[in-house]
A and B are shown apart, each in its own frame.
Chain A
């Protein structure tokens, strides 16, 4: 019986590079290592999570009591717009990108992603996009058109100057996501270790594969919608001009054709994380692994056919309403399959309850609450009542906070030892868990009630006699619990990096390939090429007499990609193109910035393709 320790060959990391990695800041600027890029994405995601949380805290203070005037009108609209934009695009998505960057290649036994420099390019376009959106508060105002940016509310006539930064930043984020989508589709399909057939790919990597397809295919429609918006705001086109015959449905279709698959982009990775965490701490294989995988794929497919359920009140007509109601209700089936499979995994297991398991278990009921109110919204007549009320706010926060975010928290506690070689503090983690669970239910549960009693979304205050006072006060109180919990986690991360106890390779006695290598893994991930015989390759190694310990490669057999400045150069060019377009309406001569940017992109790409790797 081979123990994990047997894989710890007493040898230094061996690989060769055309140009060996630099050190320090230059290394972080020029790295193409998927693990470092994953850390960059994850750190940026955590940073924006705190900013997005702060924005929520501010407008919850405004709503704590009736008739307040802390943040009113456009200020309030700016805060809610940026809260949602930040949480969706700048917090949860990069945290997902962090996990997919760091762990997908490890889970499938690859040395890196298919296109390491393209991966660095995705990171930089994401970073620049996030900075452009937030630059609005420095150079103009927070965009205040809502995170859905409904045109004509976001056009020059009705939207404020921040919406320019909003479309510009989102176009960069769209480029980043589409490029990353293509890159990871190829990585997961083509870079798997020998023997890792599709049905042996870990569920988390599978869910990442599904969302990469969603990213690659759902971002183009919203990119087109944003381009139309940019043309309307900058070059005087009339896509969204009602006076010229423009139809407000156009934006809604283009946005939600992206927006609904995007919802699954946010939740499927957390479902993947839960599917990895539950089996480890229940000491059982995942119940119905294939069903869980196919359910995720089914959700991905059908996710493209449900966008109209955001538009039941927009007047699409009874046939469209009926079709979208039916497709939306159908999504409940694969989701239910997953929930019962997770319960089946827990049933009869030898459960232990470290922090990742706590978050994973609490994911199930919290997500189910959000899922059930989601099925209610599938019912078009019922949705007419709930639309634009706090009931909807309660629904998507149970899905995104109770679901997506709790899943990601579970992943952070679960994978931190692999990324750093240190354990996180269990005590602080448990405090985080309970604070967060109590806080989110304090905030979001009363919102069901508020919605039922008629409180609309996106109003900055309410009269004292509306009967909404107590629920709103509870909601504001809950935010402090969530904030405290999240800050504890951030402290825990920094503290554990210094003071955590060593984790070794496989602290949780886990099943998949990433736990087979060092913590943190060497630049080349594995000294050997892993060969896979089942969906639990490490479990096989630990429990089978027959499996030989893999033989490490010789140094010259492992070639790693060299550092490169080119992704930064090309992404900077793209940034300049966008800035030129963003400033065009200020002074048309500034389009020369775009020309400079385009030249930078062309020259950068030529150097990119001709530099030796």
Chain B
């Protein structure tokens, strides 16, 4: 018993003084993973349920609209392909931003972050254009089940992209005024990156299943 305890103590003591006592979060770090990263993964799991419910409802109601335009009558694959491409490119610039923080090149990280935000904002601009076109063609929130489910699902995705753009803008401001230093920047930017890639992946799902599959005869 005592030998076992001693071994356990020896093993466990190695944990005790690890990390930076200046930060509460670093004091206990049982999984060896930063709290913020673990939190982002848990949050994204929660977000999966959120978008799962939105997309699930879209398909629950698919083909059950009693009035109004059909998806194939309003979707413009060309326009949406362009905006999808821009969003995919934003994931690349996001990855480059995370990489730059690891290399401690904060000014190039800031440039990539701003590029990501700009691409995201352009995507949202495309969505605003798309929505106004659809309304112009007579598809609104109240037209049909398709209108309700489509606008709310893609609208919440667009809102997530908008939140991401604001988040990235904040990060670039914080790099500019020195609130985000070289030590904290990798994990901070990586967390934003996790969110950004997630929102991007959700769009890939929506683009594939909601837009492209509609045209398979």
Residues of A contacting B170 in the complex (Cβ-Cβ under 8 angstroms): 605-606, 609
Instruction: List 20 interface pairs A-B (beta carbons < 8 Å), by A numbering.
Output: A190-B35, A195-B8, A195-B15, A219-B46, A220-B50, A221-B49, A221-B53, A224-B54, A224-B57, A228-B57, A237-B151, A238-B145, A239-B152, A250-B60, A253-B60, A529-B27, A531-B9, A531-B13, A559-B21, A610-B174
Cβ-closest chain B residue relative to A193: B28
Nearest CB in chain A: distance from B113 CB, A: 15
B148 CB contact (under 8 Å) in A196, A224, A238: A238
Chain B interface, DSSP helix/strand/loop, else mixed: helix
Q: Which A residues are closer than 8 A to B by beta carbons? A: 109-112, 114-116, 178, 181-183, 185-186, 189-196, 216-221, 223-225, 227-228, 231, 235-239, 244-247, 250, 253-254, 257, 529, 531-533, 540, 544-547, 556-561, 602, 605-606, 609-610, 613
Residues of A contacting B129 in the complex (Cβ-Cβ under 8 angstroms): none
The answer to whether B65 and A194 touch across the interface, beta carbons within 8 angstroms, is no
The answer to whether A602 and B39 touch across the interface, beta carbons within 8 angstroms, is no
- Indicate whether B30 reaches chain A with its CB closer than 8 angstroms: yes
A531 CB contact (under 8 Å) in B12, B23, B30, B52: B12
Assembly CA distance A169 to B9 (angstroms): 49
Given A245-B64, A609-B170: A533 in contact with B21 (beta carbons within 8 A): no
Residues of A contacting B148 in the complex (Cβ-Cβ under 8 angstroms): 228, 231, 237-239
Given A557-B21, A610-B179: A114 in contact with B53 (beta carbons within 8 A): no
Residues of B contacting A221 in the complex (Cβ-Cβ under 8 angstroms): 49-50, 52-53
Residues of B contacting A195 in the complex (Cβ-Cβ under 8 angstroms): 8-9, 11-12, 15
The answer to whether A224 and B145 touch across the interface, beta carbons within 8 angstroms, is no
Cβ-closest chain A residue relative to B14: A194
- Indicate whether B85 reaches chain A with its CB closer than 8 angstroms: no
Assembly CA distance A509 to B13 (angstroms): 27
Nearest CB in chain B: distance from A558 CB, A: 7
The answer to whether A561 and B144 touch across the interface, beta carbons within 8 angstroms, is no
Cβ-closest chain B residue relative to A110: B28
Q: Which B residues are closer than 8 A to A by beta carbons? A: 1-2, 5-6, 8-9, 11-13, 15-16, 21-25, 27-31, 33, 35, 38-39, 42-43, 45-47, 49-50, 52-54, 57, 60-61, 64-67, 141-142, 144-145, 147-149, 151-152, 156, 166, 170, 173-174, 179
Q: What are the nearest 5 A-B pairs in CB distance?
A: A220-B50, A220-B49, A224-B53, A237-B148, A195-B12
Cβ-closest chain A residue relative to B145: A245
The answer to whether B57 and A236 touch across the interface, beta carbons within 8 angstroms, is no
The answer to whether B141 and A237 touch across the interface, beta carbons within 8 angstroms, is yes
The answer to whether B61 and A231 touch across the interface, beta carbons within 8 angstroms, is no
Residues of A contacting B142 in the complex (Cβ-Cβ under 8 angstroms): 236-238
Nearest CB in chain A: distance from B55 CB, A: 10
Residues of B contacting A610 in the complex (Cβ-Cβ under 8 angstroms): 174, 179
The answer to whether B174 and A609 touch across the interface, beta carbons within 8 angstroms, is yes
Assembly CA distance A540 to B145 (angstroms): 63
Give the residue among A183, A547, A557, A559 with the most B Cβ atoms within 10 A: A559
Assembly CA distance A111 to B61 (angstroms): 49
Residues of B contacting A613 in the complex (Cβ-Cβ under 8 angstroms): 24
B42 CB contact (under 8 Å) in A216, A237, A239, A556: A216
Given A190-B38, A220-B50: A236 in contact with B141 (beta carbons within 8 A): yes
The answer to whether B46 and A178 touch across the interface, beta carbons within 8 angstroms, is yes
A224 CB contact (under 8 Å) in B5, B38, B50, B147: B50
The answer to whether B49 and A546 touch across the interface, beta carbons within 8 angstroms, is no
A189 CB contact (under 8 Å) in B5, B16, B31: B31
Assembly CA distance A609 to B188 (angstroms): 10
Contacts A217-B46, A529-B27, A545-B2 aside, 16 further interface pairs with beta carbons under 8 A come to A109-B28, A111-B24, A114-B35, A185-B38, A190-B35, A193-B28, A217-B49, A224-B53, A236-B141, A237-B142, A237-B151, A239-B149, A245-B61, A557-B21, A560-B24, A613-B24
Residues of B contacting A605 in the complex (Cβ-Cβ under 8 angstroms): 170
Given A235-B141, A244-B66, A247-B60: A114 in contact with B5 (beta carbons within 8 A): no
Nearest CB in chain B: distance from A404 CB, A: 24
The answer to whether B45 and A216 touch across the interface, beta carbons within 8 angstroms, is yes
